[in-house]
Amino acid sequence: MNTPDPSTGADASVPPLYSNSRSGIPVPASVPPGAVDHERIGAPGQYPFTRGIFADGYQGRLWTIRQYSGFGTAEESNERYKFLLAQGQTGLSVALDLPTQCGYDPTHPMARPEIGKVGVSLSNLSEAEILFKDLDLAKISTSFTINGTAAIVYAMYLAVADKQGVARSALTGTIQNDILKEYVARGTWIFPVRPSMRLIADSILYSNDATPRFNPISIAGAHVRDAGASAAEEMAYTLANGLAYVDELRRRGGDVEKFARRLSFFFYVHMDFFDEIAKFRAGRRLWARFMKERYGAKDPKAQHFRFGVVCGGSSLVAPQPYNNVVRVAVETMAAVFGGAQSIFTCALDEAFQIPTEFSAELALRTQQIIAHESGIARSVDPLGGSYVLEQHTDRMEEMILKVMAEIDAYGGVVKAIEDGWIQLRLAERALQRKLDTDSGRNVIVGLNHFRKAGEQMGVGDVFKLDPTVAQRALEKFQRVLDTRSQAAVDLSLSRLTQAAKRDDENLMPYLVDCCHAYTTVGEMVDCLKTEWGEFKEPVNL
Amino acid sequence: MTHMHARGPLAGRRILVGKPGLDGHDIGAKIVALTLRDAGAEVIYTGLRRSPAQIAQVAIDEGVDAVGLSILSGSHMELVTAVLTELRQRNALEVKVFVGGTIPAQDHAPLRTMGVAAVFTADMPLEEVVRELAVQFA
């Protein structure tokens, strides 16, 4: 760790600018005009949508500003949502606690230390009623970061809409509902891969009819990326997972013209500016091609690659934490140049703690400044046609296809995940990234270069979680158990069991009935575990 | 890509890397496991969602010298307390316990007081992690 010269800030140990991007794409000092093939790029709003899915870009509709929040109890989260909506946020994003994500009721021994820690506890319908109290579900769009229990949480959202008298068809929002990446990077899997794929197909097919404006899946590369994958690998794994869902939906009789228009995607944006922009442009072009050429989708909407992003994550570091605001601003610009439909900006302290109200607001302001002051959103794909960017996009596309071919050669994503092959590959890549950071080869200002002696880590101001959260959640949970009709619960669960035994039955109506009966998330999950068993994690390091 | 280094700084040591609780972020645990193996240790990785009792029992059954706990969910105080209690109940007083993950600075001292040998953060170079373990074992 070299200390920079205090007068100039120079640090003699900084490596030269490598001619490869962080994804390993060669980037020359200049690119000649001949590198751009205008035919291949097309126009904004036209196949293959390299330049964006809408001809009018953000002039037609600005991206959704969506900050991730939710912690403690439903009452506290409900208050926070009202605050954020009053601040100009245009969509809600619900974080759920780990017991809800993994399918344990608050009373389970594994749940107790985790209640309300990383999100809100949503153990049964009464909590959802509190969470959305006085919020008009017909007017707000709600995004749930939920996977293992996504179908159940979606059922709960439908049930709470029923209770509020809001037509299901009016609901907008997203459930993440992407189980494949959970096995690889995020870890909230419950059931084995194949029954999990069934549950996902059930929820998507049901949603296409019942909630046609709702996104029943957000196929996410973000977590794999944040764990260590490169931008190219992030896109390759995500597209491969997306195609696996499409295959499953078709196997279940789904119509690609109908379900494909409701598929959406979710990525991280890290610091290599052109890698990020090229990743989105290449991914958008590849997905359109897969949908049209491989699956015969004719409606452009079924070829559209719609995606949300999160800026920050593991690109943020604890030393010199205010630098993180600058990083998030650069990443947000890359997301805008990449054509994102929704953006979440991480708070400067998000890398090491739950954001404070100050840091959360600053993150929101960062994207409002880019949206409304900078003017970069006026023209759609304003960097389109740049020699550097177009060549980078072409090379990114080649690299994505190469990784996808390797997965295919192994036997496809499902097998690669069941065997732990992708998990091991990711661990090795993450180790390499960490070693490159440790050695200073990957420059991170304030962490491995340009550091000052005696610097303090962190921002001093720490968000404190109320220690009574778990106790209050348990008391409320007990009250629900005491007041609900046990006969209704038992009936809803026995019907769910029967339906789960029939492979061609869509489980969604049964899960909604369970929710209406105040059957708990843990009870529904246990019922399905009895039928399907649990995922056996391959631990092959 | 991993090799056994019979003469590495951690040669001859057996180390359990565990993920207690429901947190599913396992890449840090895997990076550390691969690093310790490269440094010569024999590494056992528990996989996700282990209870404190399960981790303590594996530590006993495998006769490990140290247990590394990776926690990023904010539940480290509760979970580390529980693992230490389970180890003590099994008389494994000589097993050293290390903690890594998202551990806010103000929690480091209380963890040390509880009996944790060292706390590692994500920003710490892996070389330093190996060096600290070697010092602890010396």
Listed by start position, the domains of chain B span 14-137
Cα–Cα distance for residue pair A324/A345, rounded to 1 Å: 11
Q: Does B82 touch chain A (CB under 8 A)?
A: yes
- Chain A residues with CB within 8 Å of chain B CB: 98-99, 101-102, 104, 109-114, 117-118, 182, 185-189, 227-228, 314, 317-319, 351-354, 426-428, 430-431, 434-435, 438, 447, 457-458, 462, 465, 537, 539, 541
Task: Please list every residue in chain A whose beta carbon sits closer than 8 Å to the beta carbon of residue B102.
Answer: 352-353
One-letter amino acid of A414: V
pLDDT of residue A354: 72
pLDDT at B1: 39
- State CA B117 to chain mean position distance: 10
First to last CA, chain A: 31
> Before B110, cis peptide (omega within 30)?
no
pLDDT band for position A66 (cuts 50, 70, 90): confident
Of A152, A156, A174, A154, the closest CA to residue A102 belongs to: A152
Residue A427 CB contacts under 8 Å (≥ 6 apart), including other chains: A228, A541, B27, B30, B31, B34
Model pLDDT, residue A1: 46
State percent of chain A over pLDDT 90.
Answer: 78
Find the CATH number of the domain harbouring A339. 3.20.20.240
For chain B positions 6-65, those within 8 Å of chain A (CB to CB) are: 21-27, 30-31, 33-35, 37, 43, 45-49, 51
Element (H, E) at A412: none
Residue with tokens 């309300």: A116
Q: pLDDT over 90 for what percent of chain B?
A: 86
* Torsions phi, psi for B96 (to 5 deg): -85, 140
| pLDDT surpasses 50 at B107 | yes
Q: What is the band of A40 on the pLDDT scale with cuts at 50, 70, 90?
A: confident
Question: For residues A67-93, b (16+ Cβ closer than 10 Å) or e, as one string?
Answer: bbbbbbbbebbbebbeebeeeebebbb
Instruction: Evaluate whether residue A433 is within a structural domain.
Output: yes
Confidence (pLDDT) at A76:
85
Q: What are the pLDDT digits (tens) for B11-55?
A: 999 999 999 999 999 999 999 999 999 999 999 999 999 999 999
Helix locations, A191-272, DSSP H: 193-210, 222-227, 231-251, 256-259
Cα A86 to chain center, whole Å? 24
C-alpha span between A9 and A507 (Å, rounded):
61
Asked whether A115 and A106 are in contact (CB, 8 A), the reply is yes
Contact B104 A318 (CB under 8 A): no
Decide: A220 and A265 in contact? Cβ < 8 Å.
Answer: yes
Distances (CA, A) of A244 to A200, A247, A270: 11, 5, 26
Q: Which two tokens stand for residue A409?
A: 């050669």
In this prediction, residue A541 carries a pLDDT of 78
Run of H or E including A485: none
Chain B residue closest in CA terms to A353: B104
**Domain span holding position A223:** 36-439
**Total domain count for chain A?**
1
CA distance A352 to chain B (A): 6
pLDDT at position B64: 97
SS3 B121: strand
Q: Which two tokens stand for residue A74?
A: 């439903």
Torsion of CA B84, B89, B95, B101, to 10 degrees: -20
Return the pLDDT at A97. Answer: 93
List the single range of A90-94, A262-266, A416-420, A428-432 with lowest mean pLDDT: A90-94
**B27 contacts A228? CB cut-off 8 A:** yes
Residue A426 resides in a domain: yes
Closest residue to B127, CB basis, from A118, A319, A438 = A438
The closest of A36, A32, A42, A39 to A381, measured between CA atoms, is A42
Check pLDDT > 90 for residue A246.
yes
Asked if B78's CB is within 8 angstroms of A113's CB, the reply is: yes
Q: How many residues does chain B have?
A: 138
Closest by CA to A424, choosing from B70, B71, B31, is B31
Asked if the model's pLDDT at residue A457 lies above 70, the reply is no
**pLDDT per residue as tens digits for the range A255-291:** 999 999 999 999 999 999 999 999 999 999 999 999 9
Q: Which chain B residue is nearest to residue A426, measuring alpha carbons?
A: B27
Return all residues near A540 (Cβ < 8 A) that are at least 6 apart.
Answer: A420, A424
Q: Which residue has the tokens 């994503």?
A: A413
Q: For residue A427, which residues of chain B lie inside 8 Å, CB to CB?
A: 27, 30-31, 34
Q: Which residues of A touch B125 (CB under 8 A)?
A: 438
Given a cut of 50, is residue B134 above it in pLDDT? yes
What average pLDDT score do residues A61-90 get?
81
**A148 pLDDT band (50/70/90 cuts)?**
very high
Does residue A66 contact residue A342 with C-beta atoms inside 8 Å? yes
The reported pLDDT for the residue numbered B2 is 44
For A466-476, the pLDDT digits (tens) are 778 889 999 99
Residue A411 CB neighbours (<10 A): 12
> What is the average pLDDT score of chain A?
92
Of A176-180, A462-466, A524-528, the poorest mean pLDDT is in: A462-466
Q: Nearest CA to B67 among B85, B47, B43?
A: B43
CA distance A64 to A212: 19
Query: Residue A457 domain-assigned?
Result: no
For residue B99, give how far its alpha carbon lies from the nearest alpha carbon of chain A (Å): 15
Query: Does B47 sit within 8 Å of A187, measured CB to CB?
Result: no
Residue from A189, A223, A434 to probe the interface with B (highest B Cβ count within 10 Å): A434
- Taking CA atoms, A330 is separated from A276, A352, B89, in Å, by 11, 20, 52
A100 within some domain: yes
For the segment A380-423, what is each residue's pLDDT rounded down to a tens digit? Answer: 999 999 999 999 999 999 999 999 999 999 999 999 999 999 99
The distance of A358 to chain B (nearest Cα, Å) reads 18
Quote the CA–CA distance of A166 and A354 in Å, as a whole number. Answer: 33
B87 interface with A at CB cutoff 8 Å: no
Nearest by CB to residue A438, choosing from B47, B74, B125, is: B125
Compare all CA atoms of chain B with the CA of A317 and give the residue at the minimum distance: B123
B107/A contact by beta carbon, under 8 A: no
Distance from CA of A480 to the nearest CA of B (A): 24
Taking an 8 Å cut-off on Cβ atoms, the answer to whether B30 and A457 are in contact is no
Q: Which residues pair with A69 in a beta bridge?
A: A94
Of B1, B26, B127, the CB nearest to A187: B26
For helices A193-210 and A508-516, angle between their N-to-C axes, nearest 10 degrees? 80
Question: What is the per-residue pLDDT across A284-327, written as a single tens digit (0 to 9) for each?
Answer: 999 999 999 999 999 999 999 999 999 999 999 988 999 999 99
Work out the minimum CA distance from A12 to partner chain B, whole angstroms.
Answer: 20
Instruction: Tell me how close the Cα of A427 comes to any Cα of chain B, in angstroms.
Output: 6
Nearest-CA distance B96 → chain A (Å): 22
Q: For A446, what's the count of Cα atoms within 13 Å in the CB-facing half-sphere?
A: 16
Query: What's the fold here for domain B14-137?
Result: Rossmann fold (3.40.50)
Mean pLDDT of A322-350: 96
Instruction: Choose the closest CB to B105 out of A110, A114, A457.
Output: A457
CB contact under 8 Å between A537 and B47, yes or no, is: yes
Q: Is B93 on the interface with A (CB under 8 A)?
A: no
Taking an 8 Å cut-off on Cβ atoms, the answer to whether A102 and B49 are in contact is yes
Q: Which of B34, B46, B123 is facing A318, going by the closest CB pair?
A: B123
Contact A451, A4 (CB under 8 A): yes
